[in-house]
């Protein structure tokens, strides 16, 4: 029990160092801490709950394999989120949805649903984006990839990614609270 308490209070970098020596319990604590964020990012990218869990698990397994490469320049969460985002993009492309990235292929966004007037937050706002816009925006603002890195991950031209990001941002800006007091603010319709 004392060991678990020690892990719970340990810093991420210490857990990473322990994980690099093969300490499963330390790595498990990292998964417990950051699993929700990684799964959340994948869902925001457009994955359904089951796919998000699958890809997140794969990402953590890959992270354990590569943990010695993590130098601590950034946060562990960012590092593992990037791995997960790239894995999801690979799956997304494999499922032949990559053609959606072509310029002018903006399909009509899924219907935001009845919550559109009642409750608008980031998750709802993202649903108003096309799949390509959603993936591009999530890669750049959720996983912290640069436009060039996102283009490389998507195997798409840089200009295409930039235009998807720009269109996505424009839509999000108009959907999220226009007065800039926080996107998570709940707006209640009349």
Given 83, 84, 86, 138, the residue binding another protein (CB under 8 A): 138
Residue of the chain from 36, 66, 146, 155 that contacts another protein (CB under 8 A): 36
Structure-token pair, residue 128: 């108003």
For another protein, the closer CB: 60 or 88: 60
CB of 85 to another protein, least distance (A): 11
Residue 82, CB half-sphere, CA atoms under 13 Å: how many? 15
105 part of the interface to another protein, by CB under 8 A:
no
CA 126-132-134 angle, 5° bins: 20
Q: Is 174 in the site for another protein (CB under 8 A)?
A: no
Distance CA 99, CA 19 (A): 39
Q: With binding defined as CB under 8 A, does residue 86 bind another protein?
A: no
| DSSP code for 181 | S
Structure-token match 């840089």, residue found: 158
Is 35 a binding residue for another protein by CB under 8 A? The answer is yes
**Burial (CB count within 10 angstroms: exposed 0-12, middle 13-18, buried 19+), residue 27:** buried
By CB under 8 A, name the binding residues for another protein: 24, 27-29, 31-37, 39-41, 43-44, 53, 56-57, 60-61, 64, 122-123, 137-138, 141-142, 144, 169, 172-173, 176, 180, 182-184
């Amino acid at each position: 029990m004392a060991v678990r308490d020690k892990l719970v209070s340990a810093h991420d970098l210490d857990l990473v160092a322990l994980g690099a020596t093969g300490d499963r319990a330390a790595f498990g604590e990292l998964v417990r801490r950051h699993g929700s964020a990684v799964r959340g990012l994948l869902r925001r990218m457009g994955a359904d709950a089951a796919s998000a869990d699958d890809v997140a698990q794969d990402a953590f397994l890959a992270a354990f394999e590569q943990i010695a490469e993590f130098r601590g320049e950034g946060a562990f969460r960012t590092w593992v989120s990037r791995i997960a985002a790239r894995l999801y993009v690979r799956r997304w492309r494999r499922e032949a949805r990559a053609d959606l990235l072509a310029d002018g292929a903006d399909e009509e966004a899924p219907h935001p649903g009845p919550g559109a007037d009642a409750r608008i937050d980031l998750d709802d706002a993202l649903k108003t984006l096309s799949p390509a816009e959603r993936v591009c925006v999530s890669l750049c603002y959720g996983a912290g990839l640069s436009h060039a890195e996102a283009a490389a991950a998507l195997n798409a031209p840089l200009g295409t990614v930039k235009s998807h990001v720009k269109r996505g941002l424009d839509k999000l800006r108009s959907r999220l609270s226009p007065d800039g007091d926080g996107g998570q603010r709940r707006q209640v319709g009349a």
